[in-house]
Structure 1
């Protein structure tokens, strides 16, 4: 998000905390104007980048900086710089698959860096740039997140308005612990569709090893199938009430699966740390392109959140100083 790879390697591990902002009505209007303006600027830059096939950030800055400031009234200098960097990043990994210029949603999250925001940790306020001037907005969060913001180096932040609630997702740099030698070998984890994760010790996750409402993998599959049928039924109905229910349900399944992957990765890292072992996961990159599935199975395959589970396990292992490796999938199950 906000910290460069080189900075991460030198100084520590990136982490992200989420703070809740409580702006006044006038401040909320100013933040909303900033969101609209920055996304408009990013779309203008994106169209220029696509038209001239210029995606590298330095060349794109030379091409688009004065153009976007001339087209988008009220856009500050640093806000224009961030919009250009944001466009370059948007094209970095998906340029080959793009058929047209990338359009940024008017109410999408926008990035803030050190020149666009400043912190008053004693007063628990953050000063944010808006087109009408800076606003000092109070923030709140979990005690551990507030403590992290107080003591750790702060990087960039994303400003988000989600269902009328203003959030600031802040990247921080944590001290990087020394990775311990896996004297007891490795905890192997087999990831699958029928069972989300099975460790070499025989623990099936989710299952009795994880506390919570999710009883097991059968429960997960039934839950996702029920959500799919519910969405399909409401979409077919198409009434205003059905669309209202769809908006209320939006993202619920994603949140459930994200929480579940957090629980699985925490369990695996905790076991590896307790037994002095490292963690070995299958390298499943590109598996969707390699596997030929029946059309009735494609939805299940493409909803498989193995990449998220791998990412969570990797960064939690790095925080705990546990060795982490990816191994060839052949003959691992």
Structure 2
């Protein structure tokens, strides 16, 4: 049984707060000029990167740093470094799909790091670098956001101008809570295409448990099919008006599924936290390469956002101090959780489970979720098995490893 603890980096759990800046007219002009020059510099670097087919940060820095500084007056050294990093990030994940050099919007958000800004929490101001010099800008925000800024470590920020309002989105590092022992077992979650998530308690998500306009899995499939047909119709048309509509609709389905996965993961974590349980999910990494699907089902399979749902559940569980494990998905929907009988004959239809041994019957996804919960509890017990040293087995194995070689010194 291949079960492993979450290996996410939990030294700190980053989050984002949004502050509203209140610059004077002169400061607003300086910020506007800074946004323009930084985005123009990023577009300039992007064209150089595309022309020379150079996309890594180090090589792009050697290629474009001095040229960008010479081309744009007022562009500081660290601002040029951040522009190069933005270009490398823009090409990092979508380079294969790019047909032309990436361009940055003139008034798009620009990043600030610790060298470009400094905080005065007592005066509630932030000192921001601009192309004409530093400006100390007052800020305000929601009470909880201000409290987080005053009490927690701050990371990078994005400067945004939205309809004349200046915003600063700041990454903060939340304290890592201690993972609580799942004294009441595990909550298993079966992920699927027909049903996005079914818990071992029998809840089918999305459904009445979630607030919002999405009423169920059938509703989700209907919306996605409607979007697919709409994209096909506009792409076949091919006119400039159709392309404008496609640009307007771009990302709408992705945003819907992201919001839905946030709701699903939040519900699962809250339920596990409320009942004192851990969370068990199937380890579905590489499933697209293992599963053979009919060509009419490939689009549905490859647009399945199971990895995002798993990532959201993992980090939300870590924030809440809820135990989280991934379990082996093999035969979870063919094994009886009562008598242990495992057979393909236990699945007479896709959504129905009937045990040939003891006669247990139920929804196949619910049975799978119960098996996932049982495997999660067994895996957690194995990983945290006590030892004579007083350390859990996982920690004991880690601390018993010899130190890495230092070359004989």
Give TM-score, length-normalised by structure 1. Answer: 0.78
Whether 1:16 and 2:21 are equivalent positions in the alignment is: no
* Cα deviation, residue 205, structure 1: 0.8
Residue 55 of structure 1 is matched in structure 2 by 56
1:36-59 C-alpha deviation (Å, 9 max, x unpaired): 4323333444555663857254x6
1:196-226 C-alpha deviation (Å, 9 max, x unpaired): 1111222111112223332211222223334
Whether 1:103 and 2:96 are equivalent positions in the alignment is: no
Residue 319 of structure 2 is matched in structure 1 by 319
Separation of aligned partners in 2, 1:332 and 1:160: 47
Asked if the contact 2:157/2:168 (under 8 Å) is kept, the reply is yes
* Cα deviation, residue 31, structure 1: 3.6
Residue 169 of structure 1 is matched in structure 2 by 169
RMSD between superposed Cα atoms in Å = 3.7
1:44-82 C-alpha deviation (Å, 9 max, x unpaired): 44555663857254x654554323212333211110122
Asked if the contact 1:282/1:326 (under 8 Å) is kept, the reply is yes
1:247-278 C-alpha deviation (Å, 9 max, x unpaired): 3x555544433332222111111122223322
* Cα deviation, residue 176, structure 1: 0.9
Residue 257 of structure 1 is matched in structure 2 by 257
Asked if the contact 1:49/1:55 (under 8 Å) is kept, the reply is no
Mapping of residues 179-328 of structure 1, within 5 Å: 179-229=179-229, 236=237, 243=244, 247=248, 251-328=251-328
Asked if the contact 1:187/1:280 (under 8 Å) is kept, the reply is yes
State the secondary structure of the residue aligned to 1:184: coil
* Cα deviation, residue 289, structure 1: 4.4
- CA gap 1:9/1:224 in 2 versus in 1, 3 angstroms: closer
Which structure 1 segments of 5+ residues have no match? Answer: 1-7
Residue 329 of structure 1 is matched in structure 2 by 329
Matched residue count: 322
* Cα deviation, residue 154, structure 1: 0.8
Greater alpha carbon shift after TM alignment, 273-282 vs 16-25 = 16-25
Separation of aligned partners in 2, 1:257 and 1:52: 34
- CA gap 1:300/1:73 in 2 versus in 1, 3 angstroms: farther
Separation of aligned partners in 1, 2:228 and 2:258: 17
Separation of aligned partners in 2, 1:179 and 1:144: 24
1:160-181 C-alpha deviation (Å, 9 max, x unpaired): 4557665432110111111223
State the secondary structure of the residue aligned to 1:187: strand
Separation of aligned partners in 2, 1:244 and 1:99: 20
- Higher Cα radius of gyration: 2
- CA gap 1:140/1:317 in 2 versus in 1, 3 angstroms: same
Separation of aligned partners in 1, 2:25 and 2:198: 50
Mapping of residues 41-120 of structure 1, within 5 Å: 41-46=41-46, 51=52, 53=54, 55=56, 57=58, 60-90=60-90, 97=96, 103-107=102-106, 108-120=108-120
- CA gap 1:190/1:202 in 2 versus in 1, 3 angstroms: same
- CA gap 1:188/1:178 in 2 versus in 1, 3 angstroms: same
Asked if the contact 1:45/1:87 (under 8 Å) is kept, the reply is yes
Which structure 2 segments of 5+ residues have no match? Answer: 1-8, 334-409
State the secondary structure of the residue aligned to 2:222: helix
1:126-156 C-alpha deviation (Å, 9 max, x unpaired): 4433323344555454432232222211100
Separation of aligned partners in 2, 1:156 and 1:301: 36
Asked if the contact 2:55/2:91 (under 8 Å) is kept, the reply is no
State the secondary structure of the residue aligned to 2:169: strand
Separation of aligned partners in 2, 1:189 and 1:78: 46
State the secondary structure of the residue aligned to 1:119: strand
Whether 1:145 and 2:145 are equivalent positions in the alignment is: yes
Separation of aligned partners in 2, 1:262 and 1:217: 15
Asked if the contact 1:234/1:246 (under 8 Å) is kept, the reply is no
State the secondary structure of the residue aligned to 1:18: strand
